[in-house]
Amino acid sequence: MKVKDIGEFGLIDKISKKSINKDVIVDIGDDAAVYKTEKGLQVITTDSLIEGDHFSKEYFTPCQIGKKAIEINVSDIAAMGAVPKHVLVSLAIPNDLDVKFVEELYEGMWGVCDKYNLDIIGGNMTHCNIIVISISLIGEVKKNNLCLRCGAKPGDLIFVSGYLGNGRAGLRLFQENVDGFNNIRKKYLEPKSQFDFSKKIAPYVNSMIDVSDGLASEINHICDESECGAIIYKDKIPINEDVRILAKKLKEDEYTYALFGGEDFQLVYTVSKERLSNIDGFLIGEITKNKKILLSNKGKYEEIINKGYDHFSNYK
Amino acid sequence: MKVKDIGEFGLIDKISKKSINKDVIVDIGDDAAVYKTEKGLQVITTDSLIEGDHFSKEYFTPCQIGKKAIEINVSDIAAMGAVPKHVLVSLAIPNDLDVKFVEELYEGMWGVCDKYNLDIIGGNMTHCNIIVISISLIGEVKKNNLCLRCGAKPGDLIFVSGYLGNGRAGLRLFQENVDGFNNIRKKYLEPKSQFDFSKKIAPYVNSMIDVSDGLASEINHICDESECGAIIYKDKIPINEDVRILAKKLKEDEYTYALFGGEDFQLVYTVSKERLSNIDGFLIGEITKNKKILLSNKGKYEEIINKGYDHFSNYK
């Protein structure tokens, strides 16, 4: 049996094990891990950018690659309701890569670090035939702000922090060599975490996750971990006008971009009805006791089966 | 200018920046980074194993690759005088890799984690054409046990925790298809950190580092960071008899293995003369005020210029 046959989530099931140390609060299966120190809760996440899979030197400048590497990890920390603090960079590069490329890559990383008041405190460098950037990001979180995937409750309303579908739209733009659409292009090349947004809502939400693999996949994670289901109102999913125009031009479906595309780095979160006054964002659905995940469209319900972007299955 | 032209250390100089957060005690340039929490000092390190560079599926079983991935990171934590606690695994793999391979890889990792009482608390998985395993390891250290590269003082004696040269000897064994030498083979395929040894000596040493890139490179790091020099007594460098025999058979020099080979994962440390009674290991030299690094051989001195294994220059 090959990796692509069971996919990312099948694989994670096979290799996970319960933590033995009592100070581990959250282990494999959320946006970041959480462990206790006397100072409070520390969170840590790790994510890799692989040349050819997550970026192409044709589309991205070295500086943009560096920015993206940090932003996507900050996005994971923000999705926990936490504050990022320290960065480690494990970099593997070909030996005939230009030194200028590496300098600009780090300029991009340091630039985003300055924005969030982070330090790159360590890392390592080694040789590889392609560029692999692995980032580990440590943060801190107050107990009351900690947002897990497992906290959703039937009756919770589901929100998203901003427009979806841009991640996939941007990729399609480059793949199909389409001119124009500069807004989509810029957001694709320079994605931003929703850290500031997260700070405002974290004390009030029951569960949260960031959109890295598509809305369907993220809702599925929340429902899986919270042992519940969801109804998503298709016409409430916020999609920018230019993404709709591009989809139409390419004879594709903008809702497929939003549901199954990924790399939007918006936040998806669920909130009890009593706490709605504290919450910003787009209301897109409701958590249900029934464990199915349904897409509601003009009075009709359709089950969302495809669980979004799978890093292995999508390479079949 | 290419990466191979300035090498790993030239590159690190170019991309490092002083930390802005006051709780960072040690940043880029030691075996691990150190930052303060109210509980005490936390250390964190990261290291990647790249297929083709750090392991070959021809030589290593998946379980051995997993073991090595954890051991080399524990080795970095041990070199700080610290105790490892939590592991993150960032794994990039081809989608046609066998699931069994991944399961055995994690079996190897979990096995070593159990030995050191560690948990794999998080990570991520993604697609890549080759296997890339990036490990981040968090640990804790008491202030009195913290061993940095920068603490060596003129007059300190230099020790090594065990025999050197096996790392390179093992690699040569496989490269040249030599039969026998099972001890060398086993140590190469299943390297072990010197964590237990480190616990005993950490309170008494002035500086410490682990041997990942060869003795010459590690001594150079200590001298660089401590602004001093060293004399190494060639005939005191501990090299196993079977490594000597293999080197002779291949018409190579066993001291080149020890000085410039790497992947021995022994500890090199310096100690004030007053504290010798607390120390175990092999005495191999002395720290000097004169900043040269000299190899003393039967009354003759030779400067050690080659700074050991460079991950880029060695691929020219």
* pLDDT the model gives residue A163: 98
Q: How many CB pairs lie under 8 A apart between chains A and B? A: 258
Query: Testing the interface with B: which of A121, A210, A311 to mutate, by most B Cβ within 10 A?
Result: A121
- Which residues are within 8 A (CB) of B289 and not within 5 positions of it... i.e. 6 or more apart? B154, B228, B229
Which DSSP category does A156 fall into? Answer: P
B88/A44 touch (CB, cutoff 8 Å), yes or no: yes
Question: Given strand B40-50, what is the order of strands in its sheet?
Answer: B24-26, B33-37, B40-50, B132-141, B83-93, B119-127
Angle between helices B99-116 and A3-15 (to 10 degrees): 20
* pLDDT the model gives residue B175: 94
Which DSSP category does A258 fall into? Answer: H
Give the mean pLDDT of A90-115.
Answer: 94
A21/B94 touch (CB, cutoff 8 Å), yes or no: no
Which DSSP category does A28 fall into? Answer: S
> Phi then psi for B19, rounded to 5 degrees?
-70, 145
Residue B98: count of CB within 10 angstroms of its CB: 14
Fold of B148-315: Phosphoribosyl-aminoimidazole Synthetase; Chain A, domain 2 (3.90.650)
Residue A264's Cβ-side half-sphere holds a number of Cα atoms within 13 Å equal to 33
Calculate how close chain B gets to A60, using CA atoms only, in Å: 18
Q: Inform me whether the C-beta atom of residue B13 falls under 8 Å from chain A C-beta atoms.
A: no
The pLDDT of residue B310 is above 70: no
* pLDDT the model gives residue A315: 42
pLDDT grade for A316, boundaries at 50, 70 and 90 = very low
CATH class of A147-315: alpha beta
Give the mean pLDDT of A9-19.
Answer: 78
Residue that the structure tokens 């690759």 belong to: B65
* pLDDT the model gives residue B307: 54
Q: Report strand pairing: A293-297 vs A229-233.
A: parallel
Angle, vertex CA B119, rays to CA A10 and CA B211, nearest 5: 110
CA distances from A24 to A35, B120, B139, B153 (A): 4, 10, 13, 39
A119/B11 touch (CB, cutoff 8 Å), yes or no: no
* pLDDT the model gives residue B185: 96
Q: How far apart are CA B239 and CA B162, in angstroms?
A: 9
What are the residue boundaries of the structural domains of chain A, listed by start?
A: 3-144, 147-315
Judge contact between A221 and A153, C-beta under 8 A.
no
The shortest CB-CB distance from A46 to any of B88, B103, B110 is to B88
Domains A3-144 and A147-315 belong to one CATH topology: no
pLDDT tens-digit profile of B177-188? 999 999 999 999
Model ipTM value: 0.82
Residue A160's Cβ-side half-sphere holds a number of Cα atoms within 13 Å equal to 26
Return the CATH architecture of domain A3-144.
2-Layer Sandwich (3.30)
